[in-house]
């Protein structure tokens, strides 16, 4: 069991660090660069063009070297060069994958963020973020439709002797329909991230708002908390134990949510899903505590095999996804085996994306209509 977890984690972390974000550029670079939508207010750089190239501009007149971690994954990112005004410039060697990317600067050997970009929690630190506009970006765009709220809750966690934070998405209409009760999806971030990721990077709230406005789904609540994953390092993977987080989630957070929100507080109306290490947590917790959740989702976060699932678990739907640049065959094979064993299982492969948030935005968008049916 320990050994299996170790291999599983290794695969996840391998994906997390081996993304090839960009391909080598063959066509001419179009000079239609615009500020990234993830820039700080009023900041002109970094910029992105219609082909998916990113261009960086950094002021550091006396620096010796300035380097951006984005670009050609395995080949060390993008090296900037200084102009005669002491400003550093650089453009990625090729177009980047659609969607959101974390990055940072290396300035004279130190790691810093790009002062032009907003910061997002990934790799166990607040990193710079950039957005390559995707052809399907409308499904997570901020539109003039009714919006749900994302609220920070602080809940007591006796098992860890602390007060912990979660974010709760309540759908539009939650306040007005003061007697309606809603199903709940517990949705986990990946390694290096925290409970802010699904809203900030993932736009989970906007994905829900838009699908509800379009009549594609019935409203439900999403709860996002910290998965306690970030103490895990490469060397320490063997030591990862699910029990401490399982206790926080199942025995502390769920009762808190059920008593503070108008939930349908039963197994049939409760789902758990997670991306990357959050998928691993989903896998372990749904199997360990089959009485809690009916819907399971693994987003670039491993697979289930039919024999792992208890016969009387009463699972209603299993969703397994990844990007086409990850290992889609493994996802499809698993879902086929689950189907053969009689489970309602659905696979999804995000075309042209790797182990990154565009895969997970799309996965949430595909999974949401399958929940609570």
The full length of the chain comes to: 373
For the bound state, the minimum distance from the C-beta of residue 274 to its own copies, rounded and expressed in Å, comes to 19
Pick the binder of its own copies from 83, 108, 291, 329 (CB under 8 A).
108
Convert residues 166-185 into a mask of x (bound to its own copies by CB under 8 A) and - (unbound): --x-x----xx-x-------
- Binding of its own copies at residue 137 (CB under 8 A)? no
- Binding of its own copies at residue 84 (CB under 8 A)? no
Q: Which contacts qualify for 70-78: CB closer than 8 Å, 24 or more apart?
A: 70/21, 70/22, 70/96, 70/101, 70/103, 70/130, 71/21, 71/22, 72/20, 72/21, 72/22, 72/24, 73/18, 73/19, 73/20, 73/21, 73/22, 74/18, 74/20, 77/103, 78/54
- Binding of its own copies at residue 230 (CB under 8 A)? yes
- Binding of its own copies at residue 41 (CB under 8 A)? yes
Pick the binder of its own copies from 18, 83, 156, 308 (CB under 8 A).
156
Output the CA–CA distances (angstroms, integers) from residue 109 to 13, 64, 164, 334, in the order listed: 25, 9, 35, 44
Pick the binder of its own copies from 110, 215, 235, 342 (CB under 8 A).
110
Of residues 95 and 116, the one with the C-beta less far from its own copies: 116
For the bound state, the minimum distance from the C-beta of residue 79 to its own copies, rounded and expressed in Å, comes to 14
For the bound state, the minimum distance from the C-beta of residue 219 to its own copies, rounded and expressed in Å, comes to 15
- Pick the closest to residue 95 from 137, 133, 127 (CA basis): 133
For the bound state, the minimum distance from the C-beta of residue 291 to its own copies, rounded and expressed in Å, comes to 25
Phi, psi for residue 156 in degrees, rounded to 5: -75, 135
Phi, psi for residue 16 in degrees, rounded to 5: -65, -25
Of residues 52 and 278, the one with the C-beta less far from its own copies: 278
Neighbouring-strand partners of residue 59: 87
Return the SS3 of 192: coil
- Binding of its own copies at residue 61 (CB under 8 A)? yes
- Binding of its own copies at residue 150 (CB under 8 A)? yes
- Binding of its own copies at residue 151 (CB under 8 A)? yes
- Binding of its own copies at residue 332 (CB under 8 A)? no
Whether the CB-CB separation of 19 and 99 falls below 8 Å is answered with: no
CA–CA dist 360, 202 (Å, integer): 7
- Binding of its own copies at residue 142 (CB under 8 A)? yes
CA–CA dist 92, 56 (Å, integer): 9
For the bound state, the minimum distance from the C-beta of residue 103 to its own copies, rounded and expressed in Å, comes to 14
Neighbouring-strand partners of residue 90: 56
CA–CA dist 169, 157 (Å, integer): 21
For the bound state, the minimum distance from the C-beta of residue 202 to its own copies, rounded and expressed in Å, comes to 14
Of residues 74 and 235, the one with the C-beta less far from its own copies: 235
Of residues 27 and 176, the one with the C-beta less far from its own copies: 176
Restricting to residues 256-285, name those near its own copies by CB under 8 A: 259-262
Work out the end-to-end distance of the chain between its first and last CA atoms, rounded to an integer number of angstroms.
33
List of residues contacting its own copies (CB under 8 A): 40-43, 58-65, 86, 105, 107-113, 115, 118-119, 124-126, 142-144, 147, 149-156, 163, 168, 170, 175-176, 178, 194, 199, 205, 230, 259-262
């Amino acid at each position: 069991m320990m050994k299996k977890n170790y291999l599983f984690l290794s695969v996840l972390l391998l994906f997390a660090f081996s993304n090839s974000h960009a391909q080598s550029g063959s066509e001419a670079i179009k000079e239609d660069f615009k500020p990234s939508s993830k820039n700080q207010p009023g900041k002109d750089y970094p910029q992105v063009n219609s082909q998916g190239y990113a261009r960086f501009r950094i002021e550091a007149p006396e620096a010796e070297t300035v380097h951006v971690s984005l670009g050609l994954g395995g080949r060390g990112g993008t090296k900037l060069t200084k102009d005669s005004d002491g400003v550093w410039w650089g453009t990625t060697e090729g177009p980047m994958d659609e969607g959101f990317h974390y990055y940072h600067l290396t300035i004279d050997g130190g790691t810093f963020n790009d002062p032009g970009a907003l910061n997002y929690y990934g790799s166990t630190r607040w990193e710079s973020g950039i957005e390559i506009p995707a052809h399907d970006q409308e499904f997570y765009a901020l539109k003039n439709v009714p919006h749900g709220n994302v609220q920070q809750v602080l809940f007591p966690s006796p098992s860890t002797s602390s007060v912990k934070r979660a974010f709760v998405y309540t759908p539009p209409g939650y306040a007005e329909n003061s007697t309606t009760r809603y199903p709940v999806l517990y949705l986990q971030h990946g390694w290096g991230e925290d409970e802010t990721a699904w809203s900030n990077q993932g736009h989970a709230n906007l994905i829900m708002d838009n699908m509800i406005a379009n009549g594609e789904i019935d409203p439900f609540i999403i709860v996002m908390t910290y998965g306690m994953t970030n103490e895990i390092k490469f060397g320490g993977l063997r030591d990862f134990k699910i029990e401490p987080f399982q206790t926080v989630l199942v025995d502390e957070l769920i009762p808190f949510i059920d008593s503070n929100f108008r939930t349908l507080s039963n197994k049939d109306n409760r789902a758990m899903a997670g991306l990357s290490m959050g998928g691993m947590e989903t896998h372990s917790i749904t199997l360990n505590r089959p009485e809690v959740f009916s819907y399971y989702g693994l987003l670039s976060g491993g697979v289930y095999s039919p024999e792992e699932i208890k016969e009387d678990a009463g699972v209603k739907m299993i969703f397994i996804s990844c990007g086409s640049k990850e290992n889609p065959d493994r996802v499809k094979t698993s879902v086929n085996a689950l189907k053969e064993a009689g489970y309602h299982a659905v696979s999804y492969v995000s075309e042209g994306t790797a182990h990154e948030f565009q895969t997970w935005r799309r996965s949430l968008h595909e999974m949401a209509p399958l929940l609570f049916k």
